[in-house]
């Protein structure tokens, strides 16, 4: 490794760590706001919240790594351009491609690390996070319910709560294809809803078959409606491949699974694309003594996140091909990179 390589990596690495820290905090903040805020206000303990967030850190690192690398490249190369360091390199006979090689190589290392995280490790930690949150919810389900809440029991039957009072619930209804159950009140004990004083009606061809009165009944719970929805991206690469094969064999739609599959490769590969983009933009700006500045760096970084979200949603809904939903942002930035490299100083 040459002195130039070490210098470039040192400049980029400092911004990379700072950018990754900010990205992780922002992504975890989004999780805290969207998923945990309603649960915290209803009594979920701080230890359970901290445990859940800790298990979501690997995903935040995986998502934030390409974003942080883009931020670091733009900031480092912009500073070098403003201080005329890139002009000095060109005047010294160091070609633009030499700088590009080092940063693409480092981007390749980040791509490999991101792929290894996203293929298996992140889905597993997300699964553990969901299980931890489910245990916390089942430990205090009463605090999470509001009048009119619906959830399911362990057998997939729909449970409705009409009123929440004290430490229990009232006017409980259980609905399924084969039976209807109504109880005056109930209370949660661990992962079980214990009902008191109710009626059970079994159905046959949508008509009552038997009617029974009970004093006590126990419903093992499966989940409360407050749990976050499981996503296709929470599956491992192998699980996604199996889902796609099964869906194709059965003729079922698989837009979300296919988009998530392609994104397992596209998101880590963005680090390499960003090296081409940032170097191309930096040497293009030398031609007119342009300056990107912190505002420009933040704007471009945020724009990638916006395109990432738009392409993902369109791919999952089938509005565009799944491969484009996955690789669309990479292809967009690669096209810009080739344009900058074509007109920038060499």
Matching residue, tokens 């900058």? 340
Among 33-37, 243-247, 325-329, the range scoring the smallest mean pLDDT is 33-37
Tell me the per-residue pLDDT of 8-63, one tens digit each, with 9 for 90 and over. Answer: 999 999 999 999 999 999 988 888 777 666 666 556 667 877 888 899 999 999 99
DSSP state of 98: H
Instruction: Map out the domains of the chain as residue ranges.
Output: 3-139+230-343, 141-224
Q: Residue 197 and residue 147: Cα distance in Å, rounded?
A: 20
Q: Residue 30 and residue 179: Cα distance in Å, rounded?
A: 41
Q: Which two tokens stand for residue 15?
A: 């911004």
pTM of the model: 0.77
Q: Residue 166 and residue 10: Cα distance in Å, rounded?
A: 60
Among 11-25, 102-116, 224-238, 327-341, the range scoring the smallest mean pLDDT is 224-238
Q: Which two tokens stand for residue 70?
A: 């883009």
Q: Are 273 and 337 in contact (CB under 8 A)?
A: yes
Tell me the per-residue pLDDT of 157-177, one tens digit each, with 9 for 90 and over. Answer: 888 888 777 667 888 888 888
- Does the pLDDT at position 314 exceed 90? yes
């Amino acid at each position: 490794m040459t002195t130039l390589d070490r210098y470039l990596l040192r400049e980029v690495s400092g911004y990379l760590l700072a950018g990754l820290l900010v990205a992780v905090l922002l992504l975890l903040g989004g999780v805290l706001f969207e998923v945990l805020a309603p649960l915290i206000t209803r009594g979920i303990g701080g230890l359970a919240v901290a445990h859940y967030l800790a298990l979501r850190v690997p995903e935040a690192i995986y998502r934030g790594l390409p974003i942080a690398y883009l931020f670091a490249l733009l900031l480092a190369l912009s500073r070098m351009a403003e201080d005329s360091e890139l002009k000095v390199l060109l005047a010294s006979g160091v070609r633009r491609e030499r700088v590009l090689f080092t940063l693409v190589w480092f981007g390749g290392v980040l791509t490999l690390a991101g792929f290894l995280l996203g293929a298996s490790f992140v889905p597993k930690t997300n699964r553990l996070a969901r299980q931890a949150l489910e245990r916390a919810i089942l430990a205090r389900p009463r605090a999470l319910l509001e009048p009119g809440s619906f959830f399911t029991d362990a057998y997939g039957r729909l449970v409705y709560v009409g009123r929440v009072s004290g430490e229990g619930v009232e006017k409980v209804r259980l609905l399924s294809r084969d039976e209807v159950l109504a109880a005056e009140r109930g209370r949660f004990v661990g992962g079980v809803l214990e009902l008191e004083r109710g009626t059970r009606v079994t159905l046959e061809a949508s008509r009552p078959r038997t009617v029974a009165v009970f004093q006590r009944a126990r419903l093992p719970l499966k989940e409360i409606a407050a749990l976050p929805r499981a996503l296709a991206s929470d599956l491992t690469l192998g699980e996604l491949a199996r889902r796609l094969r099964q869906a194709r064999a059965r003729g079922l739609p698989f837009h979300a699974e296919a988009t998530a599959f392609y994104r397992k490769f596209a998101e880590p590969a963005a680090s390499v694309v960003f090296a081409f983009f940032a170097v191309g933009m930096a040497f293009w700006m030398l031609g007119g003594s342009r300056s990107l500045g912190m505002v420009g760096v933040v704007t471009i970084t945020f724009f990638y996140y916006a395109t990432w979200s738009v392409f993902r949603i369109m791919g999952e809904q089938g509005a565009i091909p799944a491969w484009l939903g996955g690789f669309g942002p990479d292809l967009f930035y690669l096209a810009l990179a080739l344009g900058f490299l074509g007109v920038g100083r060499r």
